[in-house]
Amino acid sequence: LAKTTQPISMDSYEGQEVNITCSHNNIATNDYITWYQQFPSQGPRFIIQGYKTKVTNEVASLFIPADRKSSTLSLPRVSLSDTAVYYCLVGDTGRRALTFGSGTRLQVQP
């Protein structure tokens, strides 16, 4: 499974846009990029998934360059409730176990 590298922590303020970048240099052709969010005492929650270019849903956008060796999760106008750990994963989530890494701890300040 492809290894991912992401910042250990990030700080932001309410109302700002937050971009979390993940590196995955050895991503395989069939791998998808998936982001999960985890709050304390809860299981990870699926945010967004993509293969290339840009994907947008009601909570986030995912930007993937042509070489797919990195990806950026964009959270528009964060609020205090977005304080959580964010995990970037690559692989086929439906058929394989997920390799989480340590994630990025996002702290949103008022």
Partner 1 sequence: GAGVSQSPRYKVAKRGQDVALRCDPISGHVSLFWYQQALGQGPEFLTYFQNEAQLDKSGLPSDRFFAERPEGSVSTLKIQRTQQEDSAVYLCASSPQGTRQPQHFGDGTRLSIL
Binders of partner 1 among residues 42 to 101 (CB under 8 A) are 42-46, 49, 85, 87, 92-101
Only one residue has tokens 């967004």, namely 48
Q: Starting from the edge strand earliest in sequence, which strands make up the sheet with 45-50, in order?
A: 9-13, 104-109, 84-91, 32-38, 45-50
Q: What CA–CA distance (Å, rounded) separates 97 from 42?
A: 19
Residue number, 88 or 108, with CB nearest to partner 1:
88
Of 19-27, 41-49, 63-71, 74-82, the window that binds partner 1 (rule: CB under 8 A) is 41-49
Residue number, 13 or 36, with CB nearest to partner 1:
36
Residue ranges in the chain assigned as alpha helix (H): none
Q: Six-digit token pair at 38?
A: 């985890």
Distance in Å, CB of 86 to partner 1, minimum: 11
Could you list the residues that contact partner 1 (CB under 8 A)? 32, 34, 41-46, 49, 85, 87, 92-103
